[in-house]
Every structure is written in C-alpha cells, then in structure tokens.
Amino acid sequence: MSIHGNRTRYMMPLGTGGSESDRFAQVADKRNLKEAGKGSIDDVAYLMEGEEETLRLESKTSPEVVEEQATWAGILPGMRVADLGCGPGKTTAVLHRLVCPGGSIVGADISGKRIDHATAHYAREGIDFVCRDIRLPLGELGEFDFIWIRFVLEYYRRNALDIVRNVTRILRPGGILCLIDLDHNCLNHFGIPHRLERTIGKCARVLEEKFNFDPYAGRKLYSYLYDLGCEQVSVNVSAHHLIYGVLGDVDDFNWTKKLEIVSRKAGGAFDEYGGGHEEFMQEFRKFFADPRRFSYTPVVSVRGRKGLVDV
C-alpha cells in the first residue's frame, strides 16, 4: 500500500485571513484558550516576533528544499493540503504548485500580520489563508489529505504532542501528516570561543524554561506519530544549516537577526561579558564571519498515514 492511500478532495469556501471576521475569530480563540486553562494570551506571542521577521522567514525559505521535502513526504496532484504555521505564505505557494492540477491548499498562521502579507502576495485560486491558533479546534477548516507542519513545533515545547493530536482530527483516515523541525538548534559550532558557546547554551535553557522553545524538537517528532498510532511512518535526517567558508548574505542576516532577538529575551545570560548583550553580539558576529567557522543544524522530517482509529 502506498503512503498516500486513496485520495479524496474536500472543498469548502474560506474567507481571507486578513478579513475583519477572521481577526474577530482569532481574538475569540485567544480568549477561549485562556478560559480553558490551557495557556494565556501572552503564551500566543511568537518568540521570534520582530519588525523584520516576515523578511527573515521569506529570505531563508528555499523553494527547492520545500519541494524536495514535500515530494519525499508523498504530496501529489489533486490533494487538499493544510500548511499549518504557514508564516508569510511562501511555503504555501510552493506546496500549491505540487498539488496542481486539481488540488487546493489552506495556509494557517497565528500572526494576522503575516496572514495579511501572505494574502496580498500569494493568494490565488486554490490558495486560501486564514488566521488560526493550531492549539485550538480547527474543524471549521474541513478535512485534508495532507497536513504539513514545518518549523513550528519548536516554539511549543510543552504543547507539541497536544498540537499534533489536535491537527490529526482534520486529517482524513489514510491522509498524510508531515512534521519537520530542527534539532540541537543553533548549538552546533566548531571554532567558537568557549564563553560564547557557554552563553548561547544559557540562552537556550532560558528560552526552554520561560518561552516554551524547544532546541531539540526534531528528535521528538517520530514519537508523536508513533504515540498517535500513525502507520507507515518514515524518518529522514539531513543538514538544514551547513555553514563553512565565506559567509553568505542570507545566513548572515538569518542567524544574526535570530540571535539578536532570542538573546535579548534571554535576559541575564551575559554575566561573562562586561559589556553585556552588545559585547556578546560583537563576539558572535566576529566568530560567525570567520571562514574557518563550521556550523550546522540537523533537520528531522517524519511522515505517516493517519490510521482508521484516533488515539
């Protein structure tokens, strides 16, 4: 039996994520989340949020890599797809090309700002964008043949399994669930000064404890599909970041911006730096610009089919 099984399409009208009704629904979702005792409105804040986050997400997204990963996962023309945590919509547009002719895709993200961007730049026939919190029920979106969650679960360390269980409710029996995330995120470097390595490690621990971030999300993905009874589960591990020699502009912007944002949120992790956060960032920039530096981050991809019985 193939991983995709027999394919079925489900069509339903959806409004654009930037509409007033969707913004109202998102506010209500946040209120319901707080009242349900599952978190607070503050928990909804995205760790990496910043003025240039949409640009960072777009610049680091390689259409070729997305296409390769989705093809490995079993995406096919005619499928109805959910891109959950779609960000500014670039990935959604790539996935849509892979389900044509005859397929459609819904991109959902917690950020109204990025849904507005996605709608303005990528919405077209067969692509809809909606603002949704994937920790909450998603039944109004209908059922899907293929669900894609890439670089999202790392921001929900304590909620990840619950999120995966929640989204499988809108995956039809026999449909494909694909989860992709980094492992040992930002922590693998050679040639790095010892105090810089220690401080980055301290920042990572603060982010785990205070911001629900998971630097080790990738290694856990297989267990989620296993625990939920998915069938025909496969795993692939490769290098997402592989940086050596002369530093490219995209890696420079992505890593510097990422470290600036998360290290500021880590607060008092800079006790080894007399000049505090500014001196820390100066040392990181010097290290990262050195062509002798070697940095890498593994990416773990898992895919599986939903069984006939929910767990």
Q: Which residues contact 256 (CB under 8 A, 6 or more apart)?
A: 281, 284, 285, 288
Contact, 136 vs 159, CB < 8 A?
no
pLDDT in tens, the chain (311 residues): 233 333 232 223 333 333 333 333 343 343 333 333 333 333 446 666 666 777 777 767 889 999 999 999 999 999 999 999 999 999 999 999 999 999 999 999 999 999 999 999 999 999 999 999 999 999 999 999 999 999 999 999 999 999 999 999 999 999 999 999 999 999 999 999 999 999 999 999 999 999 999 999 999 999 999 999 999 999 999 999 999 999 999 899 889 988 888 888 887 789 999 999 999 999 999 999 999 999 999 999 999 999 876 65
- Domain borders along the chain are 20-183+214-241+301-305
Which class would CATH give 20-183+214-241+301-305?
alpha beta
pTM value? 0.83
Q: Which residues contact 230 (CB under 8 A, 6 or more apart)?
A: 177, 304, 305, 306, 307
Phi/psi-derived region of residue 152, left when phi > 0, alpha when psi is between -120 and 50, beta in every other case: alpha
Q: Enter the tokens of residue 117.
A: 């961007």
